[in-house]
Structure 1
Amino acid sequence: MTTTHRTPLRIVLLGAGRVATHLAPALAAAGHAVVGLWSRSPESGAALASRLPVPATVASSLQHLPDADVYLLTLPDAVVPEVLAAARFPVGALVAHTAGALPLSVFSPYKEQLRGGVFYPLQTFGPGRAIAWASVPLCLEATDAAALATLHQLAASLSPDVRELDSTRRLQLHVAAVWVSNFPNHLLGIGRELLEGAGLPWELLHPLIRETLDKALAQPPFVAQTGPAVRHDAATLARHAAALAARPRWQQLYQQLTASIQATAGPLPAAANNAPGLRL
């Protein structure tokens, strides 16, 4: 992203983890000035500051933050209340967190000192991965209209997909995001380890993974469900359980997921019991 926003904003980021590592360069590329960084790890803060086109000032403490138009808290949820209690922001400052599950009410104790907001990018952030910010939904909420307008300005400089979501709906979105991202990633990890244990290459599953995701995006996933669970293939399910006997935790998870699939799909129609096919 190389376009410059018409009204650059001065940004201070508190946190130098995965979100900040991707967000800070994107904000700078969009024409904003990342004027300051603070991190619980000074080394991480300095490393991120050095990657920006104009190196940001690394604040020595939460009591000495540079002046800015927006302060973005790119921190773990549990750390946000601690930082809000310890930091010294200019009176009336706009302070926004980037968390999916943390409510706007986290700012309530400080309503006389600052304006609160949420700037939640709906994406997974990992090291070494490039983020296509123009495709990332940015979910906003704020304690007042002026703060919301500023966050809209900031978000629109990164992505055309900007949405206002209250804390209740954002929490539901975050739960859904865990189901479609974090949990499948864990299951993929199990699949990879099972292959490696059998001396088989991980690449064998790549076409299946891609087709599964493409199919789930093209139609409702429950409609697209296949496999031994949905067809109530008791013999195959038993063989799979036996194959997982040495991994009881994974065996239990397999059985729980099987039960969930069957409860969602309901009983197999009688005519389907004798139908050929219905593989994977």
Structure 2
Amino acid sequence: MLITDLKSLRVVVLGAGRVAAHLAPALVSAGHQVVGLWSRNPESGAALAARLPATAALAPHLTQLPPADVYLLTLPDAVVPDVLAAARFPAGALVAHTAGALPLSVFAPYKEQLRGGVFYPLQTFGPGRAIAWADVPLCLEATDAAALATLHRLAAALSTDVRELDSARRLQLHVAAVWVSNFPNHLLGIGRELLAGAGLPWELLHPLIRETVDKALAQPPFVAQTGPAVRHDAATLARHEAALAAQPRWQQLYQQLTASIQATAGLLPAAANNGSGSRL
């Protein structure tokens, strides 16, 4: 259950990319106040400001940020250190980044000037997509208990899944997220291109994609593994590799994934490595 009776917090959002475009309006809808924005790209900043209440004024420079309870850095990881060095935050300000792999220690050089935190939403963000924020895990970390409590207040109005994770565990979570989101998306793209090259519609694979994901959520994915690799179907594997001859990068990736599937299957208990009667 979302907590909606918490005192509204004043938030300044630094960044106007995909995360900010979803997070800033969600914070407003949850009852918090976005009182300022700053963006490296003035056009993106203006576009986001236009979707927010008039109180969310664009700051012309990092040295002119308005007072706030929380400053959220929705920026690429590599940009955060430069922004921290250039920005002028009020003394003792709570500044939190939204990155999965960036450690809390990025704030260490500024421990005398500000309090650091992490407000990491575990989700993929894209234009035109609606995010069900109540289901999004929000992973928090902070340099002190008071800062952590404030981040909890910010998160509790957004999500029913708020967790405290230190930098080491958050890094492992981020790596896992890349494996289950970014890499499969790339593989789906390859599948789509192969169909297009054969004059076949992408929609042919939609039911298979849905069943694959549903099955992986219903049981351990390694146990649910099917296909010619896990069956050691050498003839089919050879035909697939031949069909990929015109795309050597994809052919190499196919071989590497086949080897990984077979090596992983070899480590599973015999009862789990029985193919479950499924074929593809």
The question of a shared fold, defined as TM-score above 0.5 by the shorter chain, is answered with: yes
Shift of 1:160: 1.0
Q: Which amino acid aligns with 1:90?
A: P
Distance in 2, Cα, partners of 1:137 & 1:122: 5
Q: Which amino acid aligns with 2:41?
A: S
- Equivalent residue, structure 2, for 1:177: 177
Q: 1:68-101: per-residue Cα shift (whole Å, max 9, x none)?
A: 0000000000000000000000000000000000
- Equivalent residue, structure 2, for 1:12: 12
- The 1:277/1:143 distance shift into structure 2, 3 A limit, reads closer
Where structure 1 has 5 or more consecutive residues not aligned to the other structure, the ranges are none
Asked if the contact 1:134–1:160 (Cα under 8 Å) also holds between the matched residues in 2, the reply is yes
Correspondence 1:130-209 to 2 at 5 A: 130-209=130-209
- The 1:276/1:104 distance shift into structure 2, 3 A limit, reads closer
| Structure 2 SS opposite 1:171 | helix
Distance in 2, Cα, partners of 1:72 & 1:47: 18
Asked if the contact 1:230–1:268 (Cα under 8 Å) also holds between the matched residues in 2, the reply is no
Q: Which amino acid aligns with 2:195?
A: L
- Equivalent residue, structure 2, for 1:212: 212
Asked if the contact 1:62–1:88 (Cα under 8 Å) also holds between the matched residues in 2, the reply is yes
- Equivalent residue, structure 2, for 1:65: 65
Question: What number of residue pairs does the alignment pair up?
Answer: 275
Shift of 1:277: 6.1
Distance in 1, Cα, partners of 2:129 & 2:256: 33
Q: Which amino acid aligns with 1:118?
A: V
Q: What stretches of structure 1 move > 6 A for 4+ residues in a row? A: 267-270
Distance in 2, Cα, partners of 1:53 & 1:125: 22
Shift of 1:44: 0.8
Shift of 1:279: 1.8
- How much identity, in percent, do the aligned residues show? 86
- Equivalent residue, structure 1, for 2:232: 232
TM-score by length of structure 2 reads 0.95
- The 1:276/1:3 distance shift into structure 2, 3 A limit, reads closer
- The 1:200/1:84 distance shift into structure 2, 3 A limit, reads same
The reply on whether 1:260 has 2:260 as its aligned counterpart is yes
Distance in 2, Cα, partners of 1:44 & 1:176: 30
Distance in 1, Cα, partners of 2:40 & 2:124: 22
Asked if the contact 1:5–1:30 (Cα under 8 Å) also holds between the matched residues in 2, the reply is no
Distance in 2, Cα, partners of 1:165 & 1:205: 37
Where structure 2 has 5 or more consecutive residues not aligned to the other structure, the ranges are none
Distance in 2, Cα, partners of 1:138 & 1:95: 16
Distance in 2, Cα, partners of 1:4 & 1:11: 17
Higher relative contact order (CA 8 A, sep 6+): 2
Q: 1:131-155: per-residue Cα shift (whole Å, max 9, x none)?
A: 0000000000000000000000001
Q: Which amino acid aligns with 1:62?
A: L
Shift of 1:64: 0.3
Distance in 2, Cα, partners of 1:30 & 1:268: 45
The reply on whether 1:40 has 2:35 as its aligned counterpart is no
TM-score by length of structure 1 reads 0.95
Asked if the contact 1:4–1:29 (Cα under 8 Å) also holds between the matched residues in 2, the reply is no
